[in-house]
Amino acid sequence: MKLSELPNKPYTFTVKYDFNMTGFLLKAKPDEAFKAKTDLSTKFIRTNTSSNVKLKDNIVLSVDDVAKLIEAGRKVLIYYDTTKKLDAYNYPDEFELLNMVVKY
């Protein structure tokens, strides 16, 4: 399964080169956050999560595992390194998130 095939589409933002990801993650409070090289990546590296202790061996997840987290209703952020793009899934307010992206 591809993330683009999910029924709930993400909010997508292009971030600036000096984007403060740490400050943004602290403010946005995602349940899961991942980093990938490109939109077509099949491996997602966990960068921040509320379940670090329980899932410490699952640092690299597949597309299917990430899709399951999104379908379960978890707030998921995915940062694509080469395109400087940020996808946000299951967030209730797009404009509140946009304000945070602009701030950081």
pLDDT for 21-55, tens place per residue? 888 988 999 999 999 999 888 999 988 655 544 55
The answer to whether the CB of 97 falls within 8 A of the CB of 91 is yes
Q: pLDDT-based confidence at 2, cuts 50/70/90?
A: confident
- Supply 74's token pair: 């978890």
Helices of type H across the chain: 21-28, 63-71, 94-103
Higher local confidence (pLDDT), 51 or 78: 78
Q: Is the pLDDT of residue 96 over 70?
A: yes
Instruction: Give the per-residue pLDDT at 53.
Output: 47
21-28 and 94-103 helices, crossing angle to 10°: 150
Dist CA 33 CA 84 (whole Å): 15
Q: For residue 71, which phi and psi values (nearest 5 degrees)?
A: -65, -25
Instruction: Give the per-residue pLDDT at 75.
Output: 93
Instruction: Give the per-residue pLDDT at 4.
Output: 73
Can you give the pTM of this predicted structure?
A: 0.86
- Supply 103's token pair: 């701030």
